[in-house]
Amino acid sequence: MSSKVPYVKHNNGTQIQSLGLGTYTSLGGDCERATLHAIDVGYRHIDTAYFYENENEVGAAVQRKIAEGVIKREDIHITTKLWCHFHEPERVEYACRKTLQNFGLEYVDLYLMHWPYSYVYRGDNEMMPTDAKGEVELNDIDYLDTWRAMEKLVELGLTKSIGVSNFNSEQLTRLLANCKIKPIHNQIECHPALNQKKLIALCKKNDIVVTAYCPLGRPNPAEKTPNYIYDAKVQAIGDKYKKSTAQVVLRYLIEIGTIPLPKSSNPKRIEENFKVFDFQLDAEDHAVLDSYHTGERLIPMTHAIKSKNYPFNIEF
């Protein structure tokens, strides 16, 4: 099955499957089970983060599938992320090695800076350190200094590639002007309500791949939100291609130039999300999906708004 899924080439020559398994909030064995099933049905791109606290589960699943002979290590692309309390340049290598220990692997394929802003370090597991007022303790480390430390990880062979997440156009432009190793990815929140077309265009111009988190907008069946999953207009598009509304949305995100990372621990849904490469949307379908764009974020991270590196103060 995986051979039918197109791959995207990066600016450093490596390549990645054009849809990945998201694992945020997948814990307690769910993540390991989801990863095992995803690999069995053909996923070769798994996305996680130190902050998700499930790197060990992803690692266990990957090692099991290697031991079973289902995959070789080089067949699978694993992305993880440097959390905000590890931004001091002298902590970056330590953080990456800790992550590799969690996975039980010798390298990751892609290491992203999770956010451009940083927190005060109060211990490895104190991921949202707060002060006496209960406010998150921000640090003003320059992400360029963090990036330089990440570049060394590539030289050390701890990661094949490096990239960023949640960087806006100005931050990306500044990074590109000051880096030795160019980022291969910018992972951003992206779905029909926040279609990110301007940021995607900037990334494309600079040969940076965009991965889309929250691609389905965190569906809530009880409240029938987001509307682009439950709306009759999207339902009609799904009926036209014999696809679900989620599959229509994932296809849309692929066609506008992203690699979606749908998160699921439901085996059926993991399979369904992968079956989006056998149909194409037309211009009318795109017009319908474009109409849901409001620019509203699900993950505004307002606790970090006082940081000079907060990314959402500008349009894109």
pLDDT tens track for 51-104: 999 999 999 999 999 999 999 999 999 999 999 999 999 999 999 999 999 999
Q: Tell me: pLDDT of 221 over 90.
A: yes
Q: Tell me: pLDDT of 2 over 50.
A: no
> Does residue 114 have a known ligand-binding role?
yes
Tens-place pLDDT, residues 259-276: 999 999 999 999 999 999
User: In this predicted structure, what is the pLDDT of residue 28?
Assistant: 82
* Overall CATH class of domain 13-304: alpha beta
Rounded (10°) CA dihedral 197, 200, 206, 209: -160
Q: Tell me: pLDDT of 30 over 50.
A: yes
Confidence label for 43 from pLDDT (cuts 50, 70 and 90): very high
Tens-place pLDDT, residues 101-157: 999 999 999 999 999 999 999 999 999 999 999 999 999 999 999 999 999 999 999
What is d(CA 266, CA 287) in angstroms, rounded to the nearest whole number?
A: 30
What is d(CA 163, CA 33) in angstroms, rounded to the nearest whole number?
A: 27
Coil, helix or strand at residue 138: strand
User: In this predicted structure, what is the pLDDT of residue 144?
Assistant: 98
Residues taking part in catalysis: 52
